[in-house]
Amino acid sequence: MLHSGEDKSDVVQLPEGVTPFIRITQNEFLGRKHKKLKEEDIAICVCKYDADDPESACGEGCLNVQTSTECTPGYCQCGETCRNQRFQKCEYAKTKLFRTEGRGWGLLADENIKDGQFIIEYCGEVISSEEAKKRCRAYEAHDLKDAYLISLDANYFIDATRKGSFARFINHSCQPNCVTRKWTVLGETRVGIFAKQDISVGMELAYNYNFEWYGGATVRCLCGAANCSVFLGAKSQGFQEYNHVWEDGDDRYTVEKIPLYDSAEDECFPVISGTSGGNEPTKILNDSEGTMCKLEPSNSTCKNYNIGSGSTPKKKPQRIPKRKIKSSRRKQVNDGDFAKRFASKEAREEITKYEGIKNEATSKLNSVYEEIRPTIEEHGLDNQDSVSTSVAETWIEAHCSKYKADFDLYFSVIKNVMYPHPATDSFAAGPSEGGVGPQTANAEANPPLGGAE
Ligand SMILES: C[S@@+](CC[C@H](N)C(=O)[O-])C[C@H]1O[C@@H](n2cnc3c(N)ncnc32)[C@H](O)[C@@H]1O
């Protein structure tokens, strides 16, 4: 197998089946030259090399390192010992290309990598958003299914489709072991892949693409993480708003909450109307530092990406109004006082007990909601990713208790309808009292069903 950190030649020997590309170790600029730094703009640190302290030569304490700026050769007093020229010197970790299951090619660590270590630069052609849009259409026309474009800043993109580094093979994961970071190198912004934890040799490298999704066909995520969002971009607001399936009071159910069939071959997951085919709405690819790659509608059937300026889509997705934060009270469901509809005392007592538990759980849920409401509002609408884990846990716990209480109550009602106790007091109503089910006294004792405790 090929070690991505070894072969520095332009045209690389690739394993069979990999679409050829030209390997570059520095971004190439389309339509402009590399910036030439003016002397007064060069950031010069104050580090001095001390043979007894390797950190002295532009380690973590270096002013340039702290501002994610590489030192400029000839200007850094540490000279050759400067350790802050990793992009310039291609100080990549050893990695290896391998074939994944269902996700095309991927890149794995070919040596142990330390938390925070620079792994590789995401190199490609630096192009404007206009050019990105054009290229995207061309790629779609050629039915390329993998997307290799990431955003560099508001106006530029890095396209690693035809020319790039091996970083182009790093797949997305919802639980990644790498992150992207932007660094300023000789006046230009460059994107590096860094380890966000220790990575052992043989582990696949992955970072979170942070797709911002505004419609179009969905790409099923096969990262296999326990917290997988099921689709690339499923957590983005665009995806959530566009792909919601139904709303029920406060709750909005999106496609990601619907159970999927496991088989990758079966396309059994829900088809969301209006999201496929020729009129694909806008889609945005967002790198982990928050800059965005606007993706636009296209007329092709390409599923993975549409890149463009972000101008008006041909067919606007139906915008679903953002969920309003409830004023002060959550909706209270009136279950209709089931207990009093039963003829037997035992049934009434049992159901009354469960009604009490359910009311308590509802009140608890309401008060938890009141507690977390400021946090939710503070973090901007309903993005549950923004609230802290402890808040989310409290909220989930209150929901679970409420669901259990609901279940217990309804179970008890159904049980008493199906297997009624004999009517034991004068309350036993005739049909006009509106019993929930058959009210005939049943000589048979309790049903062979247990309670729902
Ligand atoms: C930058 S490329 C990654 C390398 C790619 N696997 C290859 O073979 O060249 C991004 C593309 O890989 C695929 N991909 C990456 N991560 C994925 C994931 N978690 N689930 C499904 N497909 C994924 C998608 O087709 C995506 O457009």
Q: Residue 166: name the closest of 1, 3, 27, 287 by CA.
A: 3
Q: Are 298 and 137 in contact (CB under 8 A)?
A: yes
Rounded to whole angstroms, the Cα distance separating 376 from 347 reads 41
Hey, what are 156's tokens? 């530029």
pLDDT at 203 exceeding the cut of 60? yes
CA of 146 to the centre of ligand 1 (A): 6
Q: Are 236 and 213 in contact (CB under 8 A)?
A: yes
pLDDT at 267 exceeding the cut of 60? no
pLDDT given for residue 254 in this prediction:
52
Q: In a 3-state reduction of DSSP, which class is residue 203?
A: coil
Residue % of the chain over a pLDDT of 90: 36
Hey, what are 271's tokens? 């088809």
Rounded to whole angstroms, the Cα distance separating 394 from 390 reads 6
Q: Dihedrals φ, ψ of 358, to 5°?
A: -65, -40
Hey, what are 231's tokens? 């689709």
Hey, what are 24's tokens? 């570059």
Residue whose Cα lies nearest atom 15 of ligand 1: it is 171
CA of 89 to the centre of ligand 1 (A): 28
Number of CB atoms found within 10 A of residue 128's CB = 15
pLDDT given for residue 136 in this prediction:
80
CA of 307 to the centre of ligand 1 (A): 16
Ligand 1 pocket, residues with Cβ under 6 angstroms = 103-106, 145-148, 168-169, 171-172, 221-223, 304
DSSP 421-452: PPP-STT---GGG--SS------S-S-S----
pLDDT tens for each residue of 230-240: 888 777 666 66
Where is pLDDT greater, at 318 or 302? 318
How many residues in the chain?
453
* Probe target for ligand 1 pocket from 12, 19, 103, 108, with the most ligand atoms within 8 Å of CB: 103
Rounded to whole angstroms, the Cα distance separating 452 from 279 reads 50
pLDDT tens for each residue of 23-77: 999 999 998 888 888 999 999 999 999 999 988 999 999 999 999 999 999 999 9
pLDDT tens for each residue of 382-391: 444 455 666 6
What interhelical angle do 345-378 and 389-418 show, nearest 10? 160
Average pLDDT, the chain: 72
Hey, what are 284's tokens? 């945005």
Q: Are 202 and 92 in contact (CB under 8 A)?
A: no
pLDDT given for residue 430 in this prediction:
34
Where is pLDDT greater, at 262 or 141? 141
pLDDT tens for each residue of 113-166: 999 999 999 999 999 989 988 888 888 788 787 889 888 888 899 999 999 999
Q: Which helix (H) or strand (E) holds 158?
A: strand 156-159
Q: Which of 41-45, 158-162, 331-335, 339-343 has the lowest mean pLDDT?
A: 331-335
The rounded Cα 285 to chain-centroid distance in angstroms is: 12
Q: Are 391 and 375 in contact (CB under 8 A)?
A: yes
Domain ranges of the chain: 338-433
Q: Residue 165: name the closest of 194, 193, 123, 204 by CA.
A: 123
Residue whose Cα lies nearest atom 22 of ligand 1: it is 103
CA of 250 to the centre of ligand 1 (A): 35
Rounded to whole angstroms, the Cα distance separating 152 from 157 reads 5
Q: Which residues contact 302 (CB under 8 A, 6 or more apart)?
A: 139, 140, 143, 144, 145
Q: In a 3-state reduction of DSSP, which class is residue 356?
A: helix
> What ipTM goes with this model?
0.99
pLDDT at 371 exceeding the cut of 50? yes
pLDDT tens for each residue of 147-156: 898 888 888 9
Question: What band does 192 get if pLDDT is binned at 50, 70 and 90?
Answer: very high
Question: What band does 268 get if pLDDT is binned at 50, 70 and 90?
Answer: very low
Question: What band does 12 get if pLDDT is binned at 50, 70 and 90?
Answer: low
CA of 124 to the centre of ligand 1 (A): 16
pLDDT at 82 exceeding the cut of 70? yes
Dihedral sign (CA 232, 237, 242, 244):
positive
Rounded to whole angstroms, the Cα distance separating 230 from 244 reads 14
pLDDT tens for each residue of 170-184: 999 999 999 999 999
pLDDT tens for each residue of 397-443: 888 888 888 888 888 888 888 887 765 543 333 333 333 332 223 33
Rounded to whole angstroms, the Cα distance separating 215 from 296 reads 9
Where is pLDDT greater, at 334 or 23? 23
Rounded to whole angstroms, the Cα distance separating 177 from 167 reads 14
Q: Which of 204-213, 332-341, 415-424, 434-443 has the highest mean pLDDT?
A: 204-213
CB neighbour class for 157 (10 Å; exposed up to 12, middle 13-18, buried from 19): buried
Residue whose Cα lies nearest atom 12 of ligand 1: it is 146
Hey, what are 119's tokens? 């792994």
Place of tokens 């390329």: 144
Question: What mean pLDDT is predicted for residues 295-302?
Answer: 30
